[in-house]
Amino acid sequence: MNEETYLPKIEVNEQLNSLSQVVDWGLLQSNVPETWKITQGEGITVLVIDTGFPDHIDIGDNAIRGKNFIPNEPLEDENGHQSHCVGIICAKNNGVGMVGVAPKTKVICVKALSKAGGGSYKGLGDALDYAIEIKPDIVSMSLGGSSPSSFLHNKIKKLYEMNIPVVCAAGNTGEGGVNWPAAFDETIAVAAHDKFGNVANFSSRGEKVEWAAPGVSIYSTFLNNSYASLNGTSMACPFLVGVIALMLSKHKKQEKTENKNDCKTVAQIREHLLKYTKDKGEIGKDNNWGYGIIDVEKLIKGEHPEPKPEPKPEPKPEPKPEPKPEPKPEPKPEPKPEPEPKAPKKKSSVILIGFAIIAAIIAAITAYNSKEPEFDFDKKYENEIKK
């Protein structure tokens, strides 16, 4: 039995640097940015088991250093695979590079695959024990092996009983079947589809596939603060992990405000995902798409739509002033009788009489002096004739 684990074969389409923030096609098709008005995955911790810790400016402190189970190698990612997967989950919404599905989720980065992309079931088992110890909200594994292992299965069952979902890449073997641990009943196996609505040719088929997510030409963080576009179910797995992080974050908030959380067990998580699934391919569950794809916007906004702002109250008309009563005319006061003139004092009367006598004398004199002698014109005429 082969007890090696490895990265699914991936294809690097291009490696480049980005001068502005890219919202990748998977986020746009699912309208993920609209859900950020409700949650960005805050309060959720994901443990990613892969090729090591991503030292990337666009992830920053969203990545937390976990344990290293690869001898003779640093914890840091020297392959680029984990850097790409972590960016898909939680690259920051900071206006540069790209943005993850749940840009406020924290990711604990555990190394169980070497820089060459290989590892052992023993190292993977140790990483799962670490997950059991620290109890993250979700475990993500974009890796697989060609044979089952009861050793690994028991650890995954333990995580299931602890209500911690384990999400796995279905594999890139096409018709070769779903890899382990994705093929275990307790894990959630994710297939890959492209932007045109087709399951990717490389995506592993089988009855264990449960959902499909974007996995072709996926743009994300890479080595040395660069970005790359990759193909693989390795990319579809962290996309669905980011969606589950958004959902769990929303329900945790709801629990605080409404004391209600019906999304605690793995069975309840599957039930919620199924409730907001768009059927693809054959009617019902099939080996290519599983149940289909998640309608992320409805998953997050469906039960509790974004609250609408309360309408502003219509202004009340100002009350018209009550008409003031016309003032009653005040009754005019009756005229008081004029007081009879007081008799002038004696001294004043004497003075007035004196002035009056003087004035009369002056008037008489004036009249006498101004009186011309009478002249008889007839007499004068007679005297002139007699002469």
Q: Which member of 24, 30, 50, 56 is catalytic?
A: 50
Nearest to 46 by CA among 152, 166, 156, 142: 166
* Cα–Cα distance, 82 to 85 (Å, whole number): 5
Task: Specify whether 234 is catalytic.
Answer: yes
Residues 102, 242 contacting (CB under 8 angstroms): yes
DSSP strands (E only) in the chain: 4-6, 11-16, 45-50, 63-68, 106-111, 118-120, 138-141, 166-169, 187-193, 209-214, 218-221, 227-231, 277-278, 293-294
Helix (H, G, I), strand (E, B) or coil at 286: strand
Q: What's the gap between Cα 322 and its chain centre?
A: 49
Alpha-carbon radius of gyration of the chain? 52
Q: Which member of 120, 203, 204, 234 is catalytic?
A: 234
Q: Which member of 24, 30, 58, 81 is catalytic?
A: 81
Task: Specify whether 84 is catalytic.
Answer: no
Task: Specify whether 61 is catalytic.
Answer: no
User: Over 37-105, what HEC string results?
Assistant: CCCCCCCCEEEEEECCECCCCCCHHHEEEEEECCCCCCCECCCCHHHHHHHHHHCCCCCCCECCCCCCC
What are the φ/ψ torsions at residue 48 (nearest 5 degrees)?
-105, 125
Nearest to 174 by CA among 6, 293, 11, 288: 288
E strand or H helix at 381, and its extent? helix 377-386
Residues with catalytic roles: 50, 81, 234
